Amino acid sequence: MKEKKYKSEEEFLKHYNPDDFERLSATVDILITSVSDTPTQNYRKLNKKSFSVLLVKRNTFPFKDKWCLPGGFIDVKETIDHAVERVLSNETNLHNIYTEQLYTMGEVDRDPRMRVLSIAYMSLIDKNELTDKLPFNAAWFDISINERDQFVDIKLKSEKEEINFTVEKLLVQQTTAKYKYNIVENKDIAFDHASIIALGIERLKNKIEYTDIVFNMMPKLFTLGELQQVYEVILGRTLLDAAFRRIIKNKVMKTNKMRTGGGHRPSVLFKYKEPRL
């Protein structure tokens, strides 16, 4: 742009040419997570819960036939939030879903087509509220994680297939224990979405301990046993019953409904109690 003197902002804007700088593209990519219930054989036992993520199979280049996060380009005339809502309504029939910004990915070659920033979001939903059938190219994958030294093996399992990838967990900031996740092995996930998945899992593990975020993936009514199962599957460790109940007792409210039918003592159904802020 020429160095020119303008008298007013209006005048400046009239002459401004956005093409003086080469521009770029941006997408939103959303890690949609939930918990799945798998019935067990033993009639007494509770359903097994797993932490799951919604992926979409690409049917066009680039990364044709690989799995990726639901996402889309941000239109020049729409806000980021709007793009997020648009993508979410393509994949689900839900409104007022929990979303939060996860990270903005900006490696130069993360998309082979051209320069594309990805503004990654994380979203938590209650899968049971989904009434519409999933888009034909989308599927839920149950997550299992194995950490060995600085490597994290992540296994994603849907009804039809299994995906494995490995990321390297690298400390980037000592004072705040901030990590980044480099992909070291990955055949099936497109772009840098494997990093985003690892990042989102870590974020959720942290937030579940000091926020009420988990209730975004719970049904309206739930037993404390179920809630504890969700905590356990996300944290990847078992919790002591008594301690767990103490921790969440201020976050939930007893209802007068019970869940019966298992081969054991019925349990009270609770609902989320919003905190005073």
Q: Applying CB under 7 A, which residues contact DNA?
A: 42-46, 223-226, 240-243, 245-247, 260-268
Q: Give a three-class secondary structure readout of 132-170.
A: CCCCCCEEEEEEEEEEECCEEEEEEECCCCEEEEEEEEE
Shortest Cβ distance from residue 10 to DNA (Å)? 53
Binds a copy of itself by CB under 8 A, chosen from 59, 173, 250, 256: 173
Query: Residue 34 has which token pair?
Result: 């939930």
- The secondary structure element, H or E, covering residue 193 is helix 193-210
Q: Which residue type does 170 have?
A: L
Tell me whether strands 48-57 and 138-148 are parallel, antiparallel or unpaired. Answer: antiparallel
- Where b means 16+ CB within 10 Å and e means fewer, 186-201 reads bebbbbbbbbbbbbbb
C-alpha span between 142 and 129 (Å, rounded): 18
253-259-264 Cα angle (round to 5):
120
Q: Is residue 151 a contact point for a copy of itself (CB under 8 A)?
A: no
Q: Is residue 12 a contact point for a copy of itself (CB under 8 A)?
A: yes
Shortest Cβ distance from residue 217 to DNA (Å)? 18
Q: Distances in Å between the alpha carbon of 187 and those of 106, 134, 166, 190?
A: 21, 24, 10, 8
List, in order, residues 6 or more apart from 70 with CB less than 8 Å away. 29, 30, 32, 54, 55, 56, 87, 88, 90, 91, 138
Binds a copy of itself by CB under 8 A, chosen from 36, 37, 46, 80: 80
Residue span binding a copy of itself (CB under 8 A) among the ranges 14-22, 153-161, 235-243, 263-271: 14-22
Binds a copy of itself by CB under 8 A, chosen from 48, 64, 254, 257: 64
Q: Give a three-class secondary structure readout of 56-121.
A: EECCCCCCCCCEECCEEECCCCCCHHHHHHHHHHHHCCCCCCEEEEEEEECCCCCCCCCCEEEEEE
Q: Is residue 137 a contact point for a copy of itself (CB under 8 A)?
A: no
Q: Is residue 161 a contact point for a copy of itself (CB under 8 A)?
A: no
Q: Is residue 117 a contact point for a copy of itself (CB under 8 A)?
A: yes
Selection from a copy of itself, DNA, none that 245 binds (CB < 5 to 8 A by kind) is: DNA
Selection from DNA, a copy of itself, none that 171 binds (CB < 5 to 8 A by kind) is: a copy of itself
Residue span binding a copy of itself (CB under 8 A) among the ranges 31-39, 127-135, 174-182, 227-235: 174-182
Looking at the Cβ atoms of 182 and 223, the one nearer to DNA is 223
Binds a copy of itself by CB under 8 A, chosen from 45, 90, 93, 100: 100
Q: Is residue 149 a contact point for a copy of itself (CB under 8 A)?
A: no
Q: Is residue 182 a contact point for a copy of itself (CB under 8 A)?
A: no
Looking at the Cβ atoms of 80 and 268, the one nearer to DNA is 268
Contact residues for a copy of itself (CB under 8 A)?
6, 9, 12-13, 16, 18, 21-26, 61-64, 73-81, 98, 100-101, 103-104, 106-108, 112-115, 117, 119, 171, 173-178, 207, 210-213, 215-216, 272, 274-275, 277
